[in-house]
Amino acid sequence: MTDALIASMRRAVEAAPDDVVLRLHLAELLVGAGNGDDAVTHLGVVLAADPGNHRAHDLMALAVDGAPCYPGFDWQAAEKDLRA
């Protein structure tokens, strides 16, 4: 099922390459399927179009090194708290 869904999403992205939402969804599926290398390409396009996209940043961390993602977590605030 996932392979068929990924193939379908790839075709959708090919048909609408500027659709950031489609690319982000495809990247999420690719990361979930363990294909981080392929996801990085799509996430790069998403981040070029929308540099502040937090979900894309979180997925990029997962795609690159499997780092856990914590959507919405304020790392800078946590760092300040630990310094205090």
Q: Where are the domains of the chain?
A: 2-83
Identify the CATH class of 2-83.
mainly alpha
Report phi then psi at 31, rounded to 5.
Answer: -60, -45
Q: What is the pLDDT of residues 23-62, one digit of tens each?
A: 999 999 999 898 999 999 999 999 999 999 999 999 998 8
Which helix (H) or strand (E) is 44 found in, with range? Answer: helix 36-49
Burial class (CB in 10 A: 0-12, 13-18, 19+), 67: exposed
Going by C-beta distance under 8 Å and a sequence separation of 6 or more, which residues neighbour residue 33?
A: 2, 3, 6
Q: CA 55 to CA 43: how far, in whole Å?
A: 10
pLDDT at 67: 58
